Structure 1
Amino acid sequence: MNEEKIIYILDTNILLHEPFAFLSFKEHDVVVPMTVLEELDSIKDRKRDVSRDARVAIRALEDALANATPEQVLAGVPLPNSTETNASGCLSIFNDFSLERVTGNLSYNENDNRIINTAIHIQNTQKSKKVVLVTKDINMRLKAKGAGLLHVEDYRTDQLINDIQFLTKGYHTFDGDFWENVQSCESETEGRNTTHYVKRELLPSVYMNEYLIDEGEHFAGKITGYDEDNFSFADLSRERLMAKNAWGISPKNIYQGMAMDALLDPAIDLVILTGPAGSGKTLLALASALEQVVERGLYDKIIVTRSTPEIAESIGFLPGTEEEKMAPWLAAITDSLEVLHKQDENMKGSLNYIMDKANIQFKSVNFMRGRSIQNAFVLLDECQNLTASQLKTIITRCGEGTKIICSGNLAQIDSNYLNALTSGLTYIVERFKDFPGSSTINLNGVVRSRLASFAEENL
């Protein structure tokens, strides 16, 4: 083994987060403690969505070690796709039951402690190599450092940005008047639509369907194309964006105007809405859904699903059908429906009528796998609590004629091993930022109430 190699010890949550994670370390060595296999074994038979990831991880490890002898498994088996050179990485299982007790180590009563002890033991016996424990558990990282482990890291191969402030917002704001920054421009007009062509140097970082606004009261545009020298944008005007209307709802600020433009555009298949609580993500999405399903007849039904924190994979103890079980988690949707129909004489009757007329279906994230959703308007709420792989599972369910809205607040993540940088919501914002069929809008500003606005800024 090359002395420059790093030895990575994987925690269970890494393999649950990404079952093939052990293949991501290339020329370095990967150690899976026996305790991790025990935890995967205890999880694989649970009636929870995470059990599938445990089974996939177990099968992947078995495939990698299938032809190895017990001695080779302990010593290290070359990782799949690695070369025959000294730089190839190895995968090994560490039998922590044979670990010698070292004074000062953590108690063996907890699985986390046994994994940390394994890492410390390898660090003590492999002093010429860098030993790194990889875990998404923040508290475990703190315990490992306190116990004397020199290197502890999070798993970041699915992290596309290093600072959340660099996350694409979906629009560019220009100081002053936009046209004062433009030195040359060519324009084309077709009917009511005008497209302008401007030098790329004005906006070096540009993506499809991004919006352009300035500090004035009139200008607004939307990127329609670009090359190395120029970019083109449709001249929308603020007045046109602010005049958007869906199911009686109009934008309260320019950010909601941009969001509603994307939500009502049939050429956009995926709309990603980010922003603080109270910025109108759910209300705008639901109003746009009702407008296009009931009034315009563009879609056949509305499917509403969301992540349910803590027991996201376990809704079985609640009585009733799937939709009745999901009702407590989808109160945000029913609250928004009430807001949209609060002026009706018989609000309850209106809600029942519209639920039937728009064919609104409440579905659990669990049961989205394996489906093919055709000609539907899909609302996926609370996306910040989903991993990249979970979001991929849901988005790939969307068939012909389906539009999906992913919304979430990166400041309200409930998952134990996700943060704003590793959330699936952040991942898809970055992955889809230049896809012609998607649009991202960060709803900047709380419109719920002055109390909510003050709380968002000061708490």
Structure 2
Amino acid sequence: KILDAALCLQAKEPESKVILVSKDINLRLKAKALNLPAEDYQTGKVKDNRHMFTGRTTLDGVDSDVIRKMYVDGNSRKITALGDDRQNNHFYILKDGSASAMGFFNEKKRNIERVDKSYAYGIKPRNAEQAFALHAIQNPDINLVTICGVAGTGKTLLALAGALEQKNRYDQIILARPIVALSNKDLGFLPGDAEEKVNPYMQPLFDNLNFIKNQFGPNERKARAIEDMKAEGKIQISPLAYIRGRSLSNVIFIVDEAQNLTPHEVKTIITRAGENTKIILTGDIRQIDTPYLDEQSNGLTYVIDRLRGRELYCHIALEKGERSELANLANDHL
């Protein structure tokens, strides 16, 4: 009906330019096939994401005293070493020949803090980006973290491990994912109550939780702590459909597959945050399963573009796949 109305208007007003504006990609393609100009909404759309913000910078030729100071004291106040690349809540790999150090810069503290590859609930980062992600997740001054990366880079695993490592700082860990099936192809209605209906969509989160638990023996304290938290409701699954109106205080809220959310939905989620709440958004903008979003208009890209460099916010892009050689092969060549 919408397409027919636009075509009728085009026929009635040949002197006027008629343009169909829709977020439905399929409708825009049909319109263009019928020689009707069609456009996407520009509001909430990132203009250019070809050089997307990664949250980290590599600097060569850094003064060796800065690197030495970071290893001796844990930080360096010589922020002039960052030069024009200085950004708030940003990660750096500082190099001087064979010597190097990983650092984090915050404008309020005005120092370069050393970042280590330290364990988080049995999970050790395998590369610099993963170390940066864990640092951001466990940084008490950061309340919103976005982690972007292709499949197998460890986004969800790091978010869960970092949250479990801080279980004494927060009352609850809430896990959520958009209820969107692969390629938006649903299997139909699922039986059971609300929790049973969303469980198939939440299985990837449970898989990562079990992977972390399997790092310990069945009788080890940390493995038992995960089971106790699940039994006591301290690890909880929450469908995003019911989040409006809630106020989340003293929780870590992990939203996986955030690329399938609209900018409005992401704003709704973030504005639920109460006192002492940390929100972690993870996703891959190249794996969007809804036809109404693309790499420039999804909620994850929108947040990264609008909040970069702001207080309370930190972003890191993961690039190196660590799941398996087969997963890396698929990411690189398919």
Shorter-chain TM-score category? 0.7 to 0.9
Superposition pairs of residues 285-296 of structure 1, within 5 angstroms = 285-293=159-167
Q: Percent identity?
A: 35
Match of 2:274 in 1: 399
Q: Does 1:116 align with 2:9?
A: no
Q: 1:368-415, CA deviations, whole angstroms, 9 ceiling, x for partnerless residues?
A: 111001100111111000000011111111100111100001111001
Separation (CA, whole Å) in 1 of partners of 2:70 and 2:326: 46
Residue identity in the other structure for 2:104: K
CA offset at residue 310 of structure 1? 4.7
SS in structure 1 of the partner of residue 88 of structure 2: coil
SS in structure 1 of the partner of residue 209 of structure 2: helix
Match of 1:46 in 2: none
SS in structure 2 of the partner of residue 373 of structure 1: coil
Q: 1:315-343, CA deviations, whole angstroms, 9 ceiling, x for partnerless residues?
A: 99433443333221111111111111224
CA offset at residue 224 of structure 1? 1.6
Match of 1:3 in 2: none
Q: Are residues 415 and 429 of structure 1, via their aligned partners in 2, closer, same or farther at CA, if it must alter by over 3 Å?
A: same
Residue identity in the other structure for 2:91: Y
Separation (CA, whole Å) in 2 of partners of 1:306 and 1:438: 21
Match of 1:380 in 2: 255
SS in structure 1 of the partner of residue 159 of structure 2: helix
Match of 1:306 in 2: 177
Separation (CA, whole Å) in 1 of partners of 2:270 and 2:189: 27
Match of 1:225 in 2: 107
User: Structure 1: which 5+ residue stretches go unaligned?
Assistant: 1-113
Separation (CA, whole Å) in 2 of partners of 1:322 and 1:118: 40
Match of 1:158 among 44, 59, 62: 44
Q: Does 1:359 align with 2:239?
A: no
Match of 1:451 among 321, 326, 332: 326
Residue identity in the other structure for 2:268: T
Q: Are residues 273 and 189 of structure 1, via their aligned partners in 2, closer, same or farther at CA, if it must alter by over 3 Å?
A: closer
Q: Does 1:273 align with 2:144?
A: no
| RMSD over aligned Cα atoms | 3.0
Which structure has more relative contact order (CA 8 Å, sep 6+)? It is 2
Match of 1:248 in 2: 122
Contact map agreement 1:323 1:361 (CA 8 A) in 2? no
CA offset at residue 193 of structure 1? 3.5
Q: 1:262-306, CA deviations, whole angstroms, 9 ceiling, x for partnerless residues?
A: 11111110110000111001111111111101xxx1100101111
Contact map agreement 1:375 1:400 (CA 8 A) in 2? yes
Contact map agreement 1:384 1:425 (CA 8 A) in 2? yes
Q: Are residues 316 and 449 of structure 1, via their aligned partners in 2, closer, same or farther at CA, if it must alter by over 3 Å?
A: closer
Q: Are residues 161 and 199 of structure 1, via their aligned partners in 2, closer, same or farther at CA, if it must alter by over 3 Å?
A: farther
Superposition pairs of residues 175-190 of structure 1, within 5 angstroms = 176-179=60-63
Contact map agreement 1:306 1:364 (CA 8 A) in 2? yes
Residue identity in the other structure for 2:171: D
Structure ID, larger Rg: 1
CA offset at residue 248 of structure 1? 1.1
Contact map agreement 2:255 2:282 (CA 8 A) in 1? yes
Q: Are residues 234 and 214 of structure 1, via their aligned partners in 2, closer, same or farther at CA, if it must alter by over 3 Å?
A: closer
Separation (CA, whole Å) in 1 of partners of 2:105 and 2:188: 46
Superposition pairs of residues 24-173 of structure 1, within 5 angstroms = 114-149=1-36, 151-162=37-48, 164-173=49-58
Match of 1:55 in 2: none
* TM-score, normalised via structure 1 length: 0.65
Separation (CA, whole Å) in 1 of partners of 2:237 and 2:158: 18
SS in structure 1 of the partner of residue 279 of structure 2: strand
Residue identity in the other structure for 2:331: E
Q: Are residues 261 and 334 of structure 1, via their aligned partners in 2, closer, same or farther at CA, if it must alter by over 3 Å?
A: same
User: Structure 2: which 5+ residue stretches go unaligned?
Assistant: none
Match of 2:202 among 320, 330, 340: 330
Contact map agreement 1:433 1:440 (CA 8 A) in 2? yes
